[in-house]
Amino acid sequence: MQPSRTPTRQPSPETRQLRRVALSGLLGTAVEFYDFLVYGTVAALVFGELFFPEADPAVGTVAAFGTFAAGYVARPLGGILFGHFGDRVGRKSMMLLTMVLMGCGSFLIGLLPTYDTIGVWAPVLLVALRVVQGVAIGGEWGGATLMVVEHAERTQGSRRGLWSGFTQLGAPLGSVLSAGVVTLVSALPDDQFRSWGWRVPFLLSVVLLAVGLFVRLKVAESPLFAEARHEPPARPPVVEVLRRPKPVLLAAGVGIGAFTAQSLLTGFMISYAVDHGGYSRPQVLTAVTAASCAALLVLPAASALSDRVGRRPVVLAGAIASAALAFPVLALVDSGSPGLLVLALVLGHGLAQSTMYGPLGALFTEMFGTRVRYTGASLGYQAATLVGAGFSPLIASGLLASSGSGGTPVALLLCAGAAITALTVWRLRETRADALESPASRTTTLEGSPR
């Protein structure tokens, strides 16, 4: 007699679809962040001299990061635009459109003539394409995150943080990809890197775009949106959201610390460590890559932990860690030791920043109702990136150029961002136990006092 075999339990169709959506969110967001972060990395290395050659070197760096900020200014506009159609037409179609815009904008940056070839049109076109990137990524995160969390609500409602963490992983994964590619091309001789090597990471976007679109075409529309689409809000979603702006303002405040740390300890840190710390480009890019690899471990752990203890305690712990580590991190960077540079970025970005950032996907989704969720979550998230990530490199560059006081201004900015996040978390109500409501429910879910 043959021993009986226990039949293998097959996942339900809903679970299989959730896994596909989570993979789509991870890969798609990684592609988007790769495109966006490649710009920040290359801007720190060569854009000042290639597109603003008549400026003083310090002013050239500020001008290069000014175009970086232009992308962030456009992000809230993208959140409004794609949020409107995402709440009216559907999440999936907007996810596909944002990816195409992002990939094409990045590819065209790789083809741009420099200032020596077409004069002032070079920086003008650079800023224009950067704005296209900003508009695209302004709508990307909201669609990808909402798709995952709204699918998870039906089968894994108590683990929304864990599943949203897959989309959040796109940021460090995109950073690893961008830093890895730029590290390879920056190893070229300086003349080759400045003439054509810097273009390679942008041109590779076509390959990543093809992979992302292939995955996203296979996912199904959000089931919550499918139910809600027959009862759209009476007013445009942005009007509905801004009639009660408190949730958007709270979301923006919560995210400022994470995005300030992300921007200062990745793109800006490359310029700072090379110019002020005496490191080589490969040394700094290696440290950024190591920090992003650490984030790949810390971020999902923080996301999953928020399902158990709540979103607020995890984000608050990350903010406190970011403030406490700010001055030690900059001291390690200023030491001139490549090993201590790696340790600094792993602590500041891989640990503290990732702890703040991990729960944001689930938290922002839970703060808004289905009918306006795409618009509300996108506006809050992109407003945080505008304030926290868009202008912090510009402010840091200006302070360093005027004061020459080492890493103190950078550390103070990190502390300021963390303080804003901590104070805002104190005003939040815990949302991890809230159900994502039916179509006829409220447009926001943050009424009431913190608990």
319-342 pLDDT tens trace? 999 999 999 999 999 998 999 999
What is the length of the chain?
451
Using the predicted structure, report yes or no on whether residue 207 has a pLDDT greater than 90.
no
Average pLDDT of the segment spanning 134-160: 81
User: DSSP per residue over 123-160, as a string?
Assistant: HHHHHHHHHHHHHHHHHHHHHHHHHHHHHHHHH-GGGH
Q: Is 17-222+237-427 in CATH node 3.40.50.1100?
A: no
What does the pLDDT look like over 287-325, one tens digit per residue?
A: 988 998 999 999 999 999 999 999 999 999 999 999 999
Q: Confidence class of residue 355 from pLDDT cuts 50, 70 and 90?
A: very high
Q: Confidence class of residue 449 from pLDDT cuts 50, 70 and 90?
A: very low
Using the predicted structure, report yes or no on whether residue 222 has a pLDDT greater than 80.
no
What contacts 259, CB < 8 A, 6 or more positions away? 384, 385, 387, 388, 389, 392, 417
Average pLDDT of the segment spanning 86-106: 86
Which tokens is 46 given? 């060569």
Using the predicted structure, report yes or no on whether residue 7 has a pLDDT greater than 70.
no
Residue with tokens 């400045």: 194
Q: How far is CA 282 from CA 29, 162, 271, 285, in A?
A: 25, 34, 12, 5
Provide the residue ranges of all domains of the chain, joining segments of one domain with +. Answer: 17-222+237-427
Q: Are 376 and 444 in contact (CB under 8 A)?
A: yes
More confident residue, 12 or 169: 169
Predicted structure pTM score: 0.84
What does the pLDDT look like over 10-69, one tens digit per residue?
A: 666 667 778 888 888 888 888 877 887 788 778 777 887 888 777 666 666 666 666 666
Type of residue numbered 447: E
Using the predicted structure, report yes or no on whether residue 105 has a pLDDT greater than 70.
yes
